[in-house]
Amino acid sequence: MNSSLILSIVTFVYALATVLYISSWIFNKSLLGKIGTASTLAGIIGNIAGFILRWVESYQQGIGHAPLSNLYESLVFFSLTTAIIYIVIERRTREITISVFASPLPFIAMAYASLSPNMNDRIQPLIPALKSNWLIAHVITCFLGYAGFAVACGLSIMYLSKQYMNSSEGMGARIPSYDMIDELTYQMIMFGFLFLSVGIITGSVWANSAWGSYWSWDPKETWSLITWFVYALLLHTRLMKGWQGKRIAYISIIGFAAVLFTYFGVNYLPGLHSYGQ
Amino acid sequence: MEEKPASNSILTPIWNFFASVKLSVITLLLLAITSIIGTILPQNESPEAYYHSLGETLFNVFSTLDLFDMYHSRWYQFLLLLLCANLVICSLNRLSSTYKIVFIKKPVFNLAQFRKAGNRQDFTSTLPIESLVEKFLQIIESKFAKCIVEKNETGYAIFSEKGRWTRLGVYGVHLSIILMIAGGLAGSMYGFEGYMTIPEKSSEHVIHKRKSNETIALDFVIRCDKFDVSFYDTGAPKEYRSSLTILENGKEELKQDIIVNKPLRYQGINIFQSSYGTTAPETVSLTFTSRETGMEFTKSVSIGEEVDIPGGLGKFTLQQFAPSFRFRGHNIGETFIGELTSDGSDPKQIVIPVQFAKFDKMRGGDVIISAGNFEKRYYTGLQVTKDPGVYIVYTGFILIILGCFITFFMSHQKLCVEIQKEKDNCQVMIAGTANKNKMGIKFIVDRITEKLSKISR
């Protein structure tokens, strides 16, 4: 049993959870939703086990480091944080439908990590630039931020979907109220914004201790700043101009597109973060 | 939004323009959109490279718009300045009203507002009103905050509030952004960023500034005693390590090894491990073979040294070493280059690649020169910076984290408990208000209600 195998199984557990949640929503069977929740919990446990085991394996290979050093490892961690966040919201609000829109995220991330042919899932030693205590703080905070924004995006898609459904009966009626989705989206964005800010800052302090410059306008840095601008704009339109609902949902989706570009798109541009590939 | 009463009517529209949230939103949008350009178009390359890849028209347009170094262009800095001006004026505008709420001596509570609150809870009690007030005060003061009791015709009202100061959180966030931009500005004005390369066992005190041909002489000398690079089994680099010594007036002041992520700081100057390479060795063992007799002559030669080749085959001067040398379009690796002068002919350039001992044979000369052992000598590439603005920026960093946390997750909460005397019993109403996070205050109201109703039985 190694970490790669566990994490491959986790992919299918998350997939199962997604299928169960969607079936529960479509066929109005709450039991399916409960099994979906159980699957998610199983997935989270497996995800944590895989994460820890990978950490242990790296020490066994004599190149011990936290499994947060390349794209594969970051996707594993991203799935974990996203799954934890949506299961917490599901428990707090007792709204299974929220998981219908959020559960595909950890599944897609894990599927990409496990199945993409270009993905390098070998445990590699750290190159000199990554040997720093800031690595853990930087990656964890960034990905907590990304996970917050991912769940916010799922909620926003849910909000916009409700607009096209009959909200008095059937699937549309099983989506939580507009007010609730709106409030949760806003909370997720505040959470994400705080952690994105801390993530940018830890990266910046790290860069200053590694390269002697806290900001170099490297494409990934710049894209994280663009993302920050988009969400800062969202917060100001909401708090100061009272924007709500549909408009916030659209900005939240645009914001997450910027997150995705910061995460993946930037790998196709030249820059300092090339080890994230 | 509250407007600043301005005595000068011409300034009012300008003030209002800078104080508007619309301006913040538009500036943030413009910054987000324009910042994309510099991530797609590589920045700070040579004009020739841009001209070559873009063509004349695009080159001229982009050049006029300053897109080749856009984050330092006038228009981008203008946008940042606009954001700052907007932040400052918007904050000042709102601060006057916030100030009145936060630093008030005697806070005013509006009972009617609490009665209308959505989180309101009610219950009745048969206990005497005075004992209720006394018990309630105790609980609210221990579970929430200090209380004010007001007596009115029908009974008592207990008011309590906390987190008044959290209303200032947002100004902390705004101030932090000003600090970061100011720190960045201070760094670019009073700091520098440069590099120096030092071969092992050599010293250097002049650094070259990036993006210009300027040089800066440091007040001290840096000597590289040793450079070491180690690799993992996979071939990936493991560690770059330079052993450095700082010398002042010829005296050794400090000895320290630096690696990536562990720089050396001395007199406000930061020295970082940045690159490395191989440089000319001190000596190399050269072998001269006579084509006619096959006689070999080996000598240890240093760069710049002239060798008299025995047998009247001429004079050879070792000129330089190239870590990688291109010969007719092929990279032939580490190579020594020298000059051979034989009697009665012009000097000839001799190329001696380390890896190919028979290379010089192809030249067809009377003497064949090949390079043998030499001790590999590295040079270390150091990034040298000075940034007096960095602490201002770091203060901004701490402030923005605290400010965001306060703004997002803390609020100014008010609680009101009204006790009205009726015929045989007391009517108790509990309600709360908050400037943010309505769920949070509802939770508090519910919790306090539970406690109060318990002791009222």
Task: Check whether residue B138 and residue B180 sit in a common domain.
Answer: no
Nearest to A213 among B21, B40, B193 (CB): B193
Distance from CA of A27 to the nearest CA of B (A): 32
Give residue A226's pLDDT band: very low, low, confident or very high (50, 70, 90).
very high
| B74, B102, B130 - which closes a domain | B102
Nearest to A236 among B24, B42, B408 (CB): B24
* Phi, psi (deg, nearest 5) at residue B195: -145, 160
Task: Check whether residue B93 and residue B141 sit in a common domain.
Answer: no
Report the mean per-residue pLDDT for chain B. 88
SS3 A137: helix
Whether A212 sits inside 8 A of B238 (CB atoms) is: no
Whether B39 sits inside 8 A of A219 (CB atoms) is: yes
In chain B, how many H helices and how many E strands? 10, 22
Task: Check whether residue B37 and residue B55 sit in a common domain.
Answer: yes
| Residue with the two structure tokens 């000003």 | B178
Tell me: the pLDDT tens digits for A148-172? 999 999 999 999 999 888 777 788 8
Whether B28 sits inside 8 A of A233 (CB atoms) is: yes
Q: How many domains does chain B have?
A: 5
N-to-C CA span, chain A: 26
Q: Confirm whether B109 is domain-assigned.
A: no
Task: Check whether residue B269 and residue B287 sit in a common domain.
Answer: no
B54/B49 Cα distance (integer angstroms):
8
In Å, the largest CA–CA distance within chain A is 60
SS3 B212: coil
**In angstroms, what CA-CA distances link B152 with B22, B30, B421, B422?**
46, 56, 11, 14
Whether B28 sits inside 8 A of A194 (CB atoms) is: no
Asked whether B179 and B395 are in contact (CB, 8 A), the reply is: yes
Task: Check whether residue B257 and residue B384 sit in a common domain.
Answer: yes
Spatial strand order of the sheet with B367-374 comes to: B296-302, B283-290, B367-374
Residue A50: closest CA among A111, A2, A114: A2
Spatial strand order of the sheet with B314-322 comes to: B306-309, B314-322, B335-341, B348-353
Asked whether B353 and B370 are in contact (CB, 8 A), the reply is: no
A145/A273 Cα distance (integer angstroms):
18
Q: What is the pLDDT of residue A243?
A: 87
Report the mean per-residue pLDDT for chain A. 90
Task: Look at residue B129 and tell me whether its pLDDT is greater than 50.
Answer: yes
Q: Give B243's strand partners.
A: B226, B257
Q: Which amino acid is at A225?
A: L
Q: Confirm whether B124 is domain-assigned.
A: yes
Whether B260 sits inside 8 A of A125 (CB atoms) is: no
Mean pLDDT of B250-268: 90
Give chain A's contact residues with B (Cβ, < 8 Å): 63, 124-125, 127-129, 131-132, 183, 190-191, 193-194, 197-198, 201, 204-206, 208-215, 217, 219, 222-223, 225-226, 229-230, 232-233, 236-237, 240-241, 258, 266, 269-270
Select the residue from A122, A214, A224 to test the B interface by mutation, using most B Cβ atoms within 10 A: A214
Tell me: the pLDDT tens digits for B396-439? 999 999 999 999 999 999 999 999 988 888 889 999 999 888 87
Task: Check whether residue B15 and residue B98 sit in a common domain.
Answer: yes
Strand B155-162, strand B413-421: pairing: antiparallel
- Tell how far CA B392 is from the center of its chain: 12
B297/B372 Cα distance (integer angstroms):
12
Q: Confirm whether B223 is domain-assigned.
A: yes
Tell me: the pLDDT tens digits for B34-90? 999 988 888 888 888 888 888 889 899 999 998 888 998 999 999 999 999 999 999
B434/B415 Cα distance (integer angstroms):
9
Q: Confirm whether B110 is domain-assigned.
A: no
Nearest to A209 among B36, B238, B263 (CB): B263
Q: Give B386's strand partners.
A: B192
Distance from CA of A242 to the nearest CA of B (A): 11
- Cβ pairs A/B, distance under 8 A: 107
Distance from CA of A133 to the nearest CA of B (A): 9
SS3 B2: coil
| B317: exposed, middle or buried (Cβ count in 10 Å: 0-12, 13-18, 19+) | middle
Q: Confirm whether B2 is domain-assigned.
A: no
* Helix boundaries (H) for B144-289: 169-190
Nearest to B237 among A127, A205, A206 (CB): A127
Distance from CA of A143 to the nearest CA of B (A): 17
Whether A125 sits inside 8 A of B43 (CB atoms) is: no
Nearest to A197 among B36, B263, B401 (CB): B401
More confident residue, A234 or A173: A234
- Supply the ipTM of this predicted assembly: 0.90
Tell me: the pLDDT tens digits for B293-345? 888 888 889 888 888 888 888 889 998 888 888 888 888 888 999 999 887 77
Mean pLDDT of A71-97: 92
Q: What is the pLDDT of residue A75?
A: 92
Distance from CA of B33 to the nearest CA of A (A): 8
Residue A255: closest CA among A224, A230, A226: A230
DSSP states along B102-163: HT-SS----HHHHHT-TT-EEEEE-S-HHHHHHHHHHHHHHHT--EEEEE-SSEEEEEEEE-
Nearest to B260 among A183, A210, A217 (CB): A210
Q: Is B400 on the interface with A (CB under 8 A)?
A: yes
Q: What is the pLDDT of residue B34?
A: 93
Q: ∠A221-A222-A228 over CA atoms, to 5°? A: 95
Q: Confirm whether B131 is domain-assigned.
A: yes
Task: Check whether residue B384 and residue B394 sit in a common domain.
Answer: no
Asked whether A100 and A19 are in contact (CB, 8 A), the reply is: no
Q: Confirm whether B429 is domain-assigned.
A: yes
Domains of chain A by residue range: 1-115, 130-272
Q: What is the pTM of this model?
A: 0.86
Q: What is the CATH number of the domain that holds B431?
A: 3.30.310.80
Domain limits for position B344:
283-372
Give residue A270's pLDDT band: very low, low, confident or very high (50, 70, 90).
low
Strand B326-327, strand B296-302: pairing: unpaired
Task: Look at residue A274 and tell me whether its pLDDT is greater than 80.
Answer: no
Q: Confirm whether B87 is domain-assigned.
A: yes
Scan residues 190-229 of B and list those with Cβ closer than 8 Å to A.
Answer: 193
Task: Check whether residue B355 and residue B415 sit in a common domain.
Answer: no
Asked whether A221 and B35 are in contact (CB, 8 A), the reply is: no
